């Protein structure tokens, strides 16, 4: 299966492993599935924020929507 078809239905990459490592203490390790799980959580948060934004008749997501 071509690479672009494989990732077509997946959530876009939001968490970058290199940046996750920089945010943690040096002795902390990150499991291989953590970035994918974090991407999913962030996408869910953004969808909820989008829904709240629409309910409040706005076109901009604000911090309080998160």
Domain ranges (residues) in the chain = 10-65
In 3D space, the residue among 50, 35, 29, 9 whose CA is nearest the CA of residue 62 turns out to be: 50
Helix (H, G, I), strand (E, B) or coil at 35: helix
Angular region, 50: left φ>0, alpha ψ -120 to 50, beta rest: alpha
Cβ atoms of 34 and 18 closer than 8 Å: no
The per-residue pLDDT for 1 is 43
Cβ atoms of 46 and 14 closer than 8 Å: no
Residue 60 in this model has a pLDDT that exceeds 60: yes
- pTM score above 0.85: no
The per-residue pLDDT for 13 is 79
Helix (H, G, I), strand (E, B) or coil at 11: coil
């Amino acid at each position: 299966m071509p690479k672009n078809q494989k990732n077509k239905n997946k959530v876009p990459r939001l968490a970058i492993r290199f940046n996750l490592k920089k945010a943690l203490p040096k002795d902390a390790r990150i499991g291989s599935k953590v970035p994918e799980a974090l991407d999913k959580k962030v996408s869910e948060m953004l969808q909820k924020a989008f829904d709240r934004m629409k309910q409040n008749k706005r076109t901009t997501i604000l911090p309080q929507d998160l």
